[in-house]
Homo-oligomer: A and B are copies of this chain.
């Protein structure tokens, strides 16, 4: 097949997996960390920092945006990306619960 059977799992499990997938690439981890490092939301400097083409970075940004972890605000000719506080809190809650609840079993 090749298509995830998402309908067979819970909303929370799917959301957790979706966020995990958004963070499942080192470039996207790097992007998020870069955005956080800047106090203000700097934008396309990301392309300068990452060893990837502009098109690829844009694609990674779109994926992070699709999941809601970041949001982009048009600011003149450029786009200003920043962490979406609400979604990030959601992610923190989901992951910290998940990672704490799952204890050792043997």
Interface residues of A (CB under 8 A from B): 4-6, 8-10, 13-14, 16-18, 20-21, 23-30, 32-33, 35-36, 38-41, 50-52, 80, 82-83, 85, 88, 91-92, 95-96, 98-106
Q: What copy number does this chain have within its complex? A: 2
Q: How many Å from the CB of A52 to the closest CB on chain B?
A: 7
* CB-based contact A105/B29 at 8 Å: no
Cα A36 to Cα B95 with chains together (Å): 15
Q: How far is the CB of A94 from chain B (nearest CB, A)?
A: 10
| Chain B neighbourhood of A28, CB < 8 A | 17
Structural contact, B23 and A106, CB atoms closer than 8 A: no
**From A26, A39, A83, A96, residue with most partner B Cβ within 10 Å:** A26
